[in-house]
Amino acid sequence: MRIGIDARLVYHSQAGITQYILRLTQGLAEIDRENEFIILQSRKDKHIIVDKPNFKRVSLWTPSHHRFEQYTLRVEISGLGLDVLHSPDFIPPFHRNCKSVITIHDLAFLLYPHFLTKESARYYGQIDQAVKRTDHIIAVSESTKQDTIRLLGVPEHKITVIYESANPIYRPVNDPEILKQTKSKYHITGDFILFVSTIEPRKNLPALLKAYRQLLDSYKADVKLVVVGRRGWLSEEVFTLVDKLKLTNDILFLGRVPVEDLLHLYNAAQLLVQPSFYEGFGLPPLEAMACGTPVVVSNVSSLPEVVGDAGLLVDPENVSELTVAIWRVLTDEALRADLVTKGFKRAQCFSWEKTALQTLELYRRVGKGD
């Protein structure tokens, strides 16, 4: 088979979907020598994603999310002789001469449309046509699958759940000096709580800020809050709230950090907190658990599915419940040890090799018309 993977987004972003594209293609390269893979990259993207004999890079002029891509992308791929085209960023060419697989990572843009920019609303507003015109859908969690059935009316047989996984780089680091150096690099002193995500409304960072204020006031906690992630849309509320709660001297906003530094931050943190209103999968808790770091997450969407019994689950609307959960992890050594053990075990249930194997089998089924 000749399988195309749309990797244009890699040039424009290093966020979750890009990491999915990179990890999946590298996973496929490890297990498959039989099929030919065509990696569709932006002409501006100069690096080779996979350097294997059966992987070929094709440069495209059409930018990711371009308003005319339904026309121009179709023309650019028409002569490639693809059997299957995988569109990891939701929206495939609606008219094409090959089979189509798309990955739905989450449907936050349907559940929280008021959080979208105008341009994002335009692009993801094509999702109804996308699910009708694709041959099969990968959902990255059972939660996302059920959302797709419920919100878009997609028949269950058209969707396969294939979980994501953490980058294999995330592991325990047992060298205190390395962790100390990374903390020093970012001016972090003492113990800290970690939050890793793009700063946008559905990530519910304001709830964590309020819980953190309670920790300082009611529990006299001696701990900093470290936020890793770029500013997304409608993030102004977060920074206004930081000032209102007088937390400017207690919180460090690091923006994006290199993967190696994030590995060290996961290992150095007392815990990771992800109080999101909605996640299609939720990689940071899985990454943290792989590093031996306890997690506190919301009890909604896919997070309970990913974390299982290896973390503390809280109501994202209940700030006091979140505060208590964080305090318990900070102070209860027996609980911490239990969460670390369960977290390691849980993280081992996911791997990119497994993801690649299941995705390759799906390509075969779709290619055969099964």
The predicted-structure confidence for 52-89, as pLDDT tens digits, reads as follows 999 999 999 999 988 899 999 999 999 999 999 999 99
Q: Of 16, 11, 7, 14, which Cα lies nearest the Cα of 287?
A: 16
Record the tokens describing residue 103, joined without a space: 């990955």
Question: How far apart are alpha carbons 132 and 220 in whole angstroms?
Answer: 54
Question: How far apart are alpha carbons 114 and 200 in whole angstroms?
Answer: 12
Q: How much is the pLDDT for 112?
A: 80
Question: How far apart are alpha carbons 144 and 16 in whole angstroms?
Answer: 15
pLDDT beneath 70, residues of the chain:
14, 115-116
Domains of the chain from N-terminus onward = 2-165+351-368 (3.40.50.2000), 176-347 (3.40.50.2000)
**Residues linked to residue 242 through DSSP beta bridges, in sequence order:** none
Grouping H, G, I as helix, E, B as strand and the rest as coil, residue 311 is coil
Question: How far apart are alpha carbons 175 and 179 in whole angstroms?
Answer: 7
Question: How far apart are alpha carbons 114 and 118 in whole angstroms?
Answer: 10
Task: Read off the pTM.
Answer: 0.92
Q: Of 324, 329, 212, 221, which Cα lies nearest the Cα of 270?
A: 329
Residue 40: which H helix or E strand, with range?
strand 36-42
Q: How much is the pLDDT for 115?
A: 65
